[in-house]
Structure 1
Amino acid sequence: MTFRVPLTNHHADGTDCPADHKHTSSGKPLHPDCLGRTYSQAVCSRGDWQMKNPGKGYVNECRKRHLASHPKQEVTGPKVLRDLLRLDAP
């Protein structure tokens, strides 16, 4: 199973800040209808980890670290078959 840890941005009232709302590095809105990014959040689809912080970069770095901590899955499917049936093998 593949796990995901999506990063989402939120306004002060808790509503999602859409991806098309651009901000300065401090979270101030560049989109005319945006209230500004108050915090960013990442939640693991496995359900055992989440991170919420005003710093988007910090949340993103923690999100990547968490994803890297998941055990690697065994590769199956067409790539394994191609590797087993390599026609270019000596």
Structure 2
Amino acid sequence: MKVQSPLIKDDLHKRLRRIEGQVRGVQKMLDADRDCQEIIQQLTAVRSAVHNARLQFLRSYARECLLQGNTLSGAEQSMMVDELMALIAKVEQ
């Protein structure tokens, strides 16, 4: 299923642009020979931002795709739940 909501897309785009800026900041820190602990702290922030973006997108997926289950057959609903569980397993890796 594809993302239909412009609000969800906009939110994810904003999060990804912020993450992109954080990564560029880490690159600049490397070029400026900044302290290793500062770089690790920023890399941890990037990882956290990516994790939060994934969780928010997963939450949106569940709301947008799975909650429209009224229009889906039992088999389709079951398949979507299986897909969601597979996504959750990937997020937890």
Q: Is the strand fraction higher in 1 or 2?
A: 1
Tell me whether the two structures share a fold, i.e. TM-score over 0.5: no
Q: Which has the higher contact order (CA 8 A, sep 6+)?
A: 2
Q: TM-score, normalised by structure 2?
A: 0.30
Give the structure with higher Rg (CA). Answer: 1
Normalised by the size of structure 1, how large is the TM-score?
A: 0.31
